[in-house]
Structure formats: structure tokens, C-alpha cells
Amino acid sequence: MRNIGGSVGLTLMANMLHSRTNMHYSRISDRVTESVDLSVSLENIKEIAFAQARLLSYLDIFYLMAAVCLIFIPLAFCLKHQRNVKRKRVVMWGMGIIFDVGVGVI
């Protein structure tokens, strides 16, 4: 279940990165005016605008993830602490590994 949640979250972030980069690039390119300076080519301007759009997109994702974390921090205090959980010791012979496994915990 954790792998599925991580995959879905990563997919949503990649989708948001792509769409926000396009949005920021279109806004930046609308504000670019023709320059008299011929030392800067159009390709250089496109690369700079795309780099800035990508940076702004990463900032958008960072702010979204920070907001989600701030929302879920108070919810963590609402979780119930489980006490007196019966534990079962699992021994894997031949490897010398001992695990304590909670019984009845989902």
C-alpha cells in the first residue's frame, strides 16, 4: 500500500510540474520584449525563460507539499496510541535474525 501511495504521489507531482512549467513559461514569454542588444540570441532567451519557469514550478510544488504537511501535523495528534499489544517473536533460523511482530495490528 505504501508503494502505491508513493507512486501515485510521484505521478501527481510530475504532472503538476509539467503543467505548472507550461503555465509559468507562457506567462514569462508574454512579458519578454524585443531587445536592441543582439548579443543575446532568441535560443538563449528561451533557455533562460524555461529555466525560470521550471524553478517557479518546483517552488509551487514545494509550497503545496509544505501546506499538506502543515495540515496533517495536527491530525497526527488525533491518532490513538496502542498499548499492551501482544508481541510475537519470529526467528529465522540459519540467519540469526529475530523480529518482534505485533499480533493483531493491521
Domain borders along the chain are 2-102
Give me the pLDDT at residue 50, please. Answer: 95
Give me the pLDDT at residue 28, please. Answer: 92
pLDDT tens for each residue of 45-100: 889 999 999 999 999 999 999 999 999 998 888 887 767 666 665 555 556 565 55
- Phi-psi region at 7: left, alpha or beta (left = phi > 0; alpha = psi -120 to 50): alpha
Q: 104 or 81: whose pLDDT is higher?
A: 81
Q: How many CB atoms lie within 10 A of CB 29?
A: 13
- Asked whether the CA dihedral 28, 34, 38, 42 is positive or negative, the reply is positive
Q: 22 or 5: whose pLDDT is higher?
A: 22
Q: How far apart are CA 33 and CA 3, in angstroms?
A: 47
Residue 43: C-alpha distances to residues 18, 39, 40, 46, 90 (Å): 21, 11, 8, 5, 63
